[in-house]
A = this chain, B = another copy of it.
């Protein structure tokens, strides 16, 4: 079996990407980050998801992005926008964007993949319901892959490294339909930006609203506990 490194956040998308990577025959090494995020419940969700999937290994990397701030997810001084206060949010990139987050996470996935001898990295980014984050766009993913192939031994030794984004063109409803068919238990996952300690979701933040509508559009019962 070919080894793959996969970023698992504890959310719905990465749980689905993990199931798809396994269905494609990859032996999966999961990586999560304790980066000082507001929603620590997602790390517990990542542990539930990777345990249920039976990954080869699950590493949680400590890297406190709060020292940079600049995002509602890592800076207590910036409020998470909800349907109740969305008029306060400016146009463009949302305040929940974490500066260079995917680049930082993918760089560490690249480091681990090189040590493991894995030539495949999976990430559950999605360009349809991508919330306006620059580092979820297909052109960004292509540029990261090109860079990664020059950055590492594998690039020098002509072993092509692939960055897989199996969700990139799927709607949230499509993702939920595909994951459900593969047996993903979405009750294990947490998408909410302000989930409580029991992993219950607010139902109001951007992430909750997109997820909730996805279950409606897919015609699948939403197992998410809301507080």
Residues of A within 8 A of B (CB): 59, 61-65, 67-70, 92-93, 97, 99-104, 106-108, 110-112, 114-115, 134-135, 137, 139-140, 143-144, 146-148, 150-153, 155-157
Instruction: List, in ascending order, chain B residues with CB within 8 A of A112's CB.
Output: 68, 99
Q: A102-B151, A137-B150, A146-B147 are in contact. List 18 more A-B contacts (CB 8 A).
A: A59-B67, A93-B156, A97-B153, A99-B110, A99-B115, A100-B108, A100-B152, A103-B111, A103-B147, A106-B107, A134-B152, A134-B155, A135-B152, A140-B150, A140-B151, A143-B146, A143-B147, A144-B147
**Shortest CB distance A138–B (Å):** 10
**Complex CA distance for A103 and B151, rounded to whole angstroms:** 7
Chain B residue contacts of A59, Cβ below 8 A = 67
Shortest beta-carbon contacts, A-B, top 7: A100-B111, A70-B115, A99-B114, A143-B147, A140-B150, A107-B107, A100-B110
Among B93, B111, B153, B156, contact of A68 (Cβ-Cβ < 8 Å): B111
Measured CA separation A104–B135 after assembly (Å): 16
8 Å CB contact of A134 from B61, B92, B107, B153: B153
- Which secondary structure dominates where chain A touches chain B? helix
A146 and B148 contacting across the interface, CB-CB below 8 Å = no
With both chains docked as a complex, state the minimum distance between the C-beta of A195 and any C-beta of chain B, in angstroms: 24
Which chain B residues border A97 with CB–CB below 8 Å?
153
Least CB distance, A57 to chain B, in whole angstroms: 11
User: What's the Cα separation between A119 and B5 when bound, in Å?
Assistant: 31
Residue of B nearest to A105 (CB): B107
Of all chain B residues, the one with the shortest Cβ separation from A143 is: B147
Given A69-B115, A102-B151, A111-B68: A156 in contact with B134 (beta carbons within 8 A): yes
The smallest beta-carbon distance between A222 and chain B, in angstroms, is 32
6 sampled A-B residue pairs with Cβ under 8 A = A65-B111, A100-B114, A103-B110, A106-B107, A140-B150, A143-B146
